Structures are given as structure tokens and as C-alpha cells.
């Protein structure tokens, strides 16, 4: 039972860390010079918001979808870290938070299936 709660709280930590990082990155730290901030936020934050209700309710299916969605941010972070040297630290944080979300959500789904209620 402890593994289930640890992995769930780690998934929540990864989710909210990624969410806050993306919000700060695109609004305060380094806003886009080419696109309006609203468009950038809609394209970066919307995929995170889709399975949020199920994640907060500890729904296994939503947690597995959240793990899949986090891979989008992993790909974006690795590409951004490779291409843009000025944003390498922020992109590395995005990679770290998306990996935390992916592994913890995946482990939560795996361990919560074994718990007998």
C-alpha cells in the first residue's frame, strides 16, 4: 500500500512541477518573441489539462494517459535542450519533470492493480 501512495504523490509532484515550469517559462522567464503568449500557453498547457480530473481522483486509466501525455513534453524538452542553448536549463527541467511524471504514473498504475480492496 505504501508503494501505491508514494508513486501517486510522486506523479502529482511531477505533474504540478511540469505545469508550473511551463507556465513560468512561457509567461515570465522567456516568453516567445514570435507568437502571442495566449497561443503558446494553449498549445503547451492544454494536453496536461485533459486527464487532470482523473489524475486528481487517482483514476488508473487517467494516470496511464497522463504517462503517455508526459512523453510529448519529454520530446519537446530534449529537442529544445539540443537546439536552444539559452533555454537549456529550462528544457532540462522539463525533461526531468516529464520523466518523473511518466515513471511515477506508470508505477502507480502497475502497483494499484495489485491492491485488493
Q: Would you state the pLDDT for residue 31?
A: 85
* Inter-residue contact 108 to 4 (CB < 8 Å): yes
Secondary structure letter of residue 29 according to DSSP: I
Q: Would you state the pLDDT for residue 57?
A: 92
CA dihedral 75, 61, 46, 4 (to 10 degrees): -70
Secondary structure letter of residue 117 according to DSSP: -
Q: Kindly indicate the confidence band of residue 3, based on its pLDDT and cuts at 50, 70 and 90.
A: confident
* CA atoms of 96 and 99, how far apart (whole Å): 5
CB environment 23-35: b (16+ within 10 A), e (fewer):
eebbeeeeeeeee
Domain boundaries, the chain: 2-112
pTM beyond cutoff 0.85: yes
Q: Would you state the pLDDT for residue 1?
A: 64
**Residue 116: is its pLDDT beyond 70?**
no
Q: What is the pLDDT of residues 52-95, one digit of tens each?
A: 999 999 899 999 999 999 999 999 999 999 999 889 999 999 99
Amino acid at each position: 500500500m505504501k508503494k501505491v501512495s508514494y508513486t501517486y504523490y510522486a506523479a502529482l509532484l511531477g505533474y504540478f512541477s511540469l505545469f508550473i515550469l511551463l507556465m513560468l517559462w512561457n509567461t515570465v522567464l522567456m516568453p516567445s518573441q514570435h507568437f502571442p503568449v495566449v497561443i503558446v500557453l494553449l498549445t503547451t498547457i492544454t494536453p496536461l489539462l485533459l486527464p487532470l480530473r482523473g489524475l486528481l481522483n487517482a483514476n488508473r486509466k487517467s494516470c496511464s494517459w497522463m504517462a503517455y501525455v508526459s512523453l510529448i513534453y519529454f520530446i519537446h524538452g530534449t529537442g529544445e535542450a539540443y537546439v536552444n542553448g539559452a533555454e537549456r536549463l529550462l528544457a532540462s527541467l522539463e525533461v526531468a519533470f516529464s520523466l518523473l511524471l511518466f515513471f511515477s504514473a506508470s508505477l502507480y498504475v502497475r502497483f494499484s492493480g495489485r491492491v485488493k480492496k
